[in-house]
Structure 1
Amino acid sequence: MTQDPHSLPPWYKQFWPWFLLGILLSSVAVSTTFLVLSIKSYDGMVEDNYYKQGLAINQVIEQDRRAAELGLSAELLIDDLTGDITVELDGERRPERLLLALVFPTRGDRDLNLTLEHVRDGHYTGQAPSRLEYRWYLRLQPIQEEPEWRLNGEASFPQDAPIILTPGETNEG
């Protein structure tokens, strides 16, 4: 019982070649989709030079320790409507200008560095460029090449209550 070779349908009318081609084409489509998504949604979380960051940790610890020695703390208030920033700095050191770094936990491209000007007796003011939302790490330090001290905090915006910045580490390092 042999089949007549002329009675077999051509390959393109059979099920298995199309099934195998379908698997191959679907895997190409899925992998291309993932490639495009991974290129377009770069998260910026990978640090290129961990060695350099490791060496800088001693400087960061020293800045936190120095802020505690000076008895520094700050109360920060950001007006949700106008973006006005007010800081009241308590302690011995009161530079003319401060740097307020707002660090977004997951996307480095959203980080902000704002300059605050000294108004009077430990009061500083500045302006946020846009309305803040979500959770942020906050770092306050004098504007210098190598700052002597720093204060840290964490806040979720919008927030009506003042934010207290103290010496010590936050999760952003």
Structure 2
Amino acid sequence: MVSAQVNQNRDNNEQPRPWYREIWFWILMAPLIMVVIMSTIMVSIAVRYADDTVSDTYYKDSRLYHFMAHQDQRAAELGMAGMVQYDPVEKSISVNLKGDLIYPEQLLLTLSHPVEADLDTHVVVDLLAPGRYRGQLNETLQNRWYLQLSPELDPKQHEKAEWRLKGEINFNLGNGAPLNPAVQ
């Protein structure tokens, strides 16, 4: 009887442990905490590296493409063609242009990244000699890029240009690419 009384006194005097020291709390909460952490990581990755390939204004872009077809026709009428050369050591771009036109003092070469619109670059190339242009870049280029050459120096006003030449370059395969009017 004395031992039963001692056990009762011991049970009454023991303080319960705090909730954060209970193993069952952590066994139940660990999966929930992991879900919250992984969800936060996935959302931050999705926001930071969002895909730029789908345009919300596809109808407007399509109309603009057809509207700008006259630029390609004009370049074809002038017999225009060109060649772009990139020098990775000097980080410079050279453009050799031919055609039946008066060569402007400056042209705009737009390098569009196929996936990330934030990486698009505009380079103003200056006339060195008739048909020969040169421009300077700030960064080294790699991988594949779409090229567009036009006499309009404001990238937001490219649809107002008289003509344009287009091309594609993959810097992993070489440093040169032809520029031609877009094929209809």
Q: For 1:99 and 1:136, locate their aligned partners in 2 and report how far apart those are by CA, in whole Å.
A: 15
Residues 1:98 and 2:107 aligned together: yes
Tell me how far 1:96 sits from its aligned partner.
Answer: 2.1
CA contact (8 A) 2:87 2:175 kept: no
Tell me how far 1:120 sits from its aligned partner.
Answer: 1.6
- Secondary structure of the residue aligned to 2:68 is helix
Residues 1:133 and 2:147 aligned together: no
Instruction: State the TM-score, normalizing by the size of structure 1.
Output: 0.77
Q: For 1:36 and 1:85, locate their aligned partners in 2 and report how far apart those are by CA, in whole Å.
A: 36
The RMSD of aligned alpha carbons is: 2.7
- Residues 76-91 of structure 1 mapped to structure 2, 5 A cutoff: 76-91=84-99
Deviations 1:13-59 (A, max 9, x none): 897x8766444333333222211222232344443322321220112
CA contact (8 A) 1:132 1:158 kept: no
Q: For 2:23 and 2:105, locate their aligned partners in 1 and report how far apart those are by CA, in whole Å.
A: 81
CA contact (8 A) 1:101 1:111 kept: yes
Q: For 1:18 and 1:151, locate their aligned partners in 2 and report how far apart those are by CA, in whole Å.
A: 64
For residue 56 of structure 1, what is the amino acid of its counterpart? L
- Secondary structure of the residue aligned to 1:109 is helix
Aligned length: 159
Instruction: State the TM-score, normalizing by the size of structure 2.
Output: 0.73
Residues 1:74 and 2:82 aligned together: yes
Q: For 2:112 and 2:167, locate their aligned partners in 1 and report how far apart those are by CA, in whole Å.
A: 10
Larger-gyration structure (1/2): 2
Q: CA separation of 1:89/1:14 partners in 2, compared to 1, >3 Å: closer, same or farther?
A: closer
Residues 1:114 and 2:123 aligned together: yes
CA contact (8 A) 2:169 2:176 kept: no
Aligned to 2:171: 157
**Unaligned runs of at least 5 residues, structure 1:** 1-11
Q: For 2:97 and 2:39, locate their aligned partners in 1 and report how far apart those are by CA, in whole Å.
A: 53
**Unaligned runs of at least 5 residues, structure 2:** 1-20
- Residues 11-26 of structure 1 mapped to structure 2, 5 A cutoff: 21-26=29-34
Higher helix share: 2
Equivalent pairs: percent with the same residue?
A: 34
Q: For 2:51 and 2:26, locate their aligned partners in 1 and report how far apart those are by CA, in whole Å.
A: 39
